[in-house]
Structure 1
Amino acid sequence: MKVQHLNLTVTDVPAAQKFLETYFGLKCRGNRGDGFAVMNDEDDFILTLMKGREVSYPKTFHVGFPQENQEQVDKINQQMKEDGLDVNPPVHAHGYTFYVKAPGGFTVEVLCPSSKMN
């Protein structure tokens, strides 16, 4: 069994949607104004974004986007820096990874798992 759907409550649905489209290739399959969006990826994972006034996730909560290799992690990190996002360089931890606060109030991890590292 695999997880096939996740809902995130965010403070800014359009900004979160654009972030996920730009850096992770998710596609919007429908929305209702600026309060709700349905997105999915190439594996038909469904991510819904719902607007909330106050978004407060636990400190360690994050959504992960594994990459095929370290070069892809570096590429996304560099693109985010060039676009003005506040990101630190990737580090070797439980894989090759970095975290970024996404628009809308949630944290994203971009990583190359240890099993795929060069």
Structure 2
Amino acid sequence: MKLNHVNLTVTDVSAAKNFLQTYFGLKIGGERGEAFAALFDDDGLVLTLMKGTEAHYPKTFHIGFIQENEEKVNEMYRRLTEDGFEASSPKRAHGWTFYVKAPGGFTVEVLA
């Protein structure tokens, strides 16, 4: 059994959707204006975004995108920081990893 559906409440559906499409290759499966978007990956994940006036997640809450290798993690870090996103520097923890604050109020981990 695998987890294949996650719903996130976000303050800006359009910005979060664009971020996930641009950097993580998710594809739009459906939208309802600025209130809802369904995104899909190539492995059966359905990630839905629903607009909320506030998005308060616990400090350690995040979603993650596992990369093929450490160089891919470094490449993602470079792209995101060059585009102005605030990200922690990659470091060795439970893998080669960093965290980035996504538009809409949630955190993403990138790791290998």
TM-score range, shorter chain: over 0.9
- The alignment status of 1:2 with 2:7, answered yes or no, reads no
* Equivalence for 1:32: 32
* Equivalence for 1:53: 53
Aligned amino acid, residue 99 of structure 1: Y
In structure 1, how many angstroms separate the alpha carbons of the residues matched to 2:81 and 2:59? 23
In structure 2, how many angstroms separate the alpha carbons of the residues matched to 1:82 and 1:30? 30
In structure 2, how many angstroms separate the alpha carbons of the residues matched to 1:44 and 1:34? 24
TM-score by length of 1: 0.93
* Equivalence for 1:79: 79
Aligned residue for 1:75, secondary structure, equals helix
Shift of 1:88: 2.6
Shift of 1:76: 0.5
In structure 2, how many angstroms separate the alpha carbons of the residues matched to 1:52 and 1:96? 32
Q: CA deviation digits over 1:53-82, x for unaligned, max 9?
A: 011001110001011100000000000011
In structure 1, how many angstroms separate the alpha carbons of the residues matched to 2:107 and 2:2? 22
Structure 1 runs of 4+ aligned residues shifted over 2 Å read none
In structure 2, how many angstroms separate the alpha carbons of the residues matched to 1:42 and 1:82? 26
Shift of 1:4: 1.1
Shift of 1:12: 0.2
In structure 2, how many angstroms separate the alpha carbons of the residues matched to 1:25 and 1:42? 9
- The alignment status of 1:43 with 2:40, answered yes or no, reads no
In structure 1, how many angstroms separate the alpha carbons of the residues matched to 2:103 and 2:58? 16
- The alignment status of 1:67 with 2:67, answered yes or no, reads yes
Aligned amino acid, residue 42 of structure 2: E
Aligned residue for 2:20, secondary structure, equals helix
Aligned length: 112
Aligned residue for 1:87, secondary structure, equals coil
Aligned residue for 2:100, secondary structure, equals strand
* Equivalence for 1:93: 93
